[in-house]
Amino acid sequence: MIIMSKSLCIPEGYKSALTLRETQHAIKYIKDIFQQSLSFELTLDRVTAPLIVQKGSGINDDLNGVERKVEFSTKEIESDAEVVQSLAKWKRMALYRYGYRPGEGIYTDMNAIRRDDDTDNIHSIFVDQWDWEKVITPQQRSVEYLMETVKYIVKAIAFTKRKVCLRYPQLKGEICGTPYFITSQELEDMYPDKTPKERENLIVKEHKTVFIMQIGEKLASGQKHDGRAPDYDDWSLNGDLLFWNDVLGNALEISSMGIRVDAASLGKQLAECGAEDRKQYEYHQMILNDTLPLTIGGGIGQSRLCMLLLEKAHIGEVQVSVWPSAMMKECADNGIVLL
């Protein structure tokens, strides 16, 4: 039974399977195993990435286009700086600058602050994820290649879960290693009277590991399944990877990813969002004139993956952040120990 308290879900009788010290050891173990497996499966090199970028550069991720960025002035640099929200655009520029070719890619540790995120069991204003990006050919800009890549990521996650359970046998959960693929429109057709989140919970509860494709366009209902910025994913070639979370009894999104926009899809999506003013930026110009390579990429939540694999009830059990005081007290009263 799950007890709901405003934005907090409290599993009845919850107790972490791991001690605090075991949890810290297990977090490192997961990160070591998973990033090695991911880099092997997708042929990725680890690179260093920025925490801050210059304001007005066009490199920072706009997410849904409405979130406020954390910005500040500096002593010697003329323009203000911004804390990144993700590295979707920076990675593609890096692949161009570093001279990567089709079949090669990069991954990095991305830390961000998203000040407008609501905090709950799975959301924190501090975001940590593996951001990855890979150069592809024009022929690989296809649904088939997207699905193949998703299968490799799921394989790496399922492998990591098996390794963690061998080290910590008190963990009993499993990861379904065979993803179920469905488009957001097919999902709406299946559950037309449900909200997008309710649809996600229903389909993931049934299939355990699900990749929902084509997110960003309006559906037949006139609503979007979820928001997407117009200038990184091609909305016809993207999706979200979700796993069933037994502890909370709901779907947990681990990754948002996709094949990136080319000149045609960028122009179309900017026009649809009324964001054609972004064409002035160097990044957008380099896509429109075919300078940047074609790529596929995404982000994989580090704390969310640790939370899932370690069977935790709150993301604050696997990362250090700041939380509303009422949430901290309620967690403490119910045996949820935040780091």
Catalytic residues: 61, 114, 129, 240, 253, 256
Total residue length of the chain? 339
Could you say which DSSP state residue 115 is in? T
Q: E-strand spans in the chain? A: 2-5, 8-11, 44-46, 52-54, 71-72, 81-83, 105-113, 126-135, 180-183, 209-213, 233-245, 250-260, 295-301
What tokens were used for 181?
């693929």
3-state secondary structure of 33: helix
Helix axes 20-42, 302-309, angle to 10 degrees: 120
Backbone angles phi, psi at 319, to 5 degrees: -145, 155
Dihedral sign of CA atoms 271, 274, 276, 278 in order: negative
Dihedral sign of CA atoms 132, 137, 143, 147 in order: negative
Q: Are 81 and 301 in contact (CB under 8 A)?
A: no
Residues 6+ apart with CB under 8 A from 264: none
Looking up tokens 């122009």, which residue turns up? 267
How far apart are the C-alpha atoms of 339 and 321, rounded to whole Å? Answer: 8
